[in-house]
């Protein structure tokens, strides 16, 4: 496929974003283009080969390391943040084999609501996503305390299982988030963008802590 003026080799998508069944979709169309940030890209249209589905979908490819690489399916919705790996890997209980944690699922639904101008729903959604992130992360690090964490209020989980700056930021995010869910708003001066920025900050800090823990555990003194 062409990206810019070069014809690159590429791997066709092997899963359908509608039915999530692995198959060999057939290519209907592809065209070089540029992404919203100016990155040279190629957009292709495919048809799912699963007979129960047969739906069309759109894939975005960009050049990486001399090849055209699949970036994501385009569904007309805003792109979510780039999830740090430990956040992307986080699993939720009862998520029915879903690929994403409840945090990511709820965050993306809130983003979708926000893109439709549904700011009240989006605010409550972001608040809910923080709760999933805080509890699932605490459970991942303290699996033996699962039952305890599940039955505590969000504020209690933050106090008991988080510390330092992260705890302070989590508390502030939940204050703003709670406000989004209540009739009389106390924090009028902070809007959804601030709440999202706090969530971004929380993800960076969880990623940092996860990496430090990993390297401290895996690199041992040779003396």
| Stretch of residues binding Zn ion (CB under 5 A), selected from 10-18, 94-102, 112-120, 138-146 | 10-18
Q: Which of 3, 10, 13, 16 binds Zn ion (CB under 5 A)?
A: 16
47 lies in the binding site for Zn ion (CB under 5 A): no
- For residue 70, the minimal CB distance to Zn ion (Å) is 16
Kind of pairing, strands 2-3 and 56-64? Answer: unpaired
Q: Are 145 and 152 in contact (CB under 8 A)?
A: no
18 lies in the binding site for Zn ion (CB under 5 A): yes
Record the tokens describing residue 131, joined without a space. Answer: 């709760």
Q: Are 137 and 84 in contact (CB under 8 A)?
A: no
| Closest of 11, 15, 9, 45 to residue 27, by C-alpha | 45
45 lies in the binding site for Zn ion (CB under 5 A): no
Annotate each residue in 52-91 with x if it binds Zn ion (CB under 5 A) or - if it does not, as one string: -x--------------------------------------
How many Cα atoms are found within 13 Å in the side-chain-facing hemisphere of 123? 21
d(CA 188, CA 212): 37
- For residue 16, the minimal CB distance to Zn ion (Å) is 3
48 lies in the binding site for Zn ion (CB under 5 A): yes
| Stretch of residues binding Zn ion (CB under 5 A), selected from 8-16, 91-99, 112-120, 130-138 | 8-16
194 lies in the binding site for Zn ion (CB under 5 A): no
Burial of 203 (0-12, 13-18, 19+ CB in 10 A): buried
For Zn ion, the binding residues (CB under 5 A) are 16, 18-19, 48, 50, 53
């Amino acid at each position: 496929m062409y990206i810019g003026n070069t014809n690159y080799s590429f791997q066709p998508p092997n899963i359908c974003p509608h039915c999530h069944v692995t198959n060999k979709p057939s290519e209907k169309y592809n065209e070089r283009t540029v992404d919203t940030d100016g990155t040279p890209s190629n957009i292709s249209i495919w048809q799912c080969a699963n007979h129960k589905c047969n739906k069309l979908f759109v894939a975005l490819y960009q050049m990486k390391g001399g090849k055209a690489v699949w970036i994501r399916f385009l569904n007309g919705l805003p792109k979510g943040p780039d999830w740090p790996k430990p956040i992307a890997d986080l699993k939720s209980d009862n998520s029915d084999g879903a690929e994403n944690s409840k945090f990511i699922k709820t965050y993306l639904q809130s983003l979708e609501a926000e893109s439709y101008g549904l700011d009240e729903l989006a605010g409550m959604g972001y608040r809910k996503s923080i709760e999933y992130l805080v509890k699932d992360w605490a459970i991942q690090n303290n699996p033996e305390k699962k039952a305890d964490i599940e039955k505590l209020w969000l504020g209690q989980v933050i106090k008991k299982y988080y510390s330092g700056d992260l705890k302070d930021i989590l508390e502030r995010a939940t204050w703003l988030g709670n406000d989004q869910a209540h009739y009389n708003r106390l924090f009028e001066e902070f809007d959804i963008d601030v709440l999202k920025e706090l969530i971004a900050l929380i993800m960076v800090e969880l990623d940092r802590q996860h990496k430090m823990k990993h390297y401290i555990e895996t690199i041992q003194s040779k003396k």
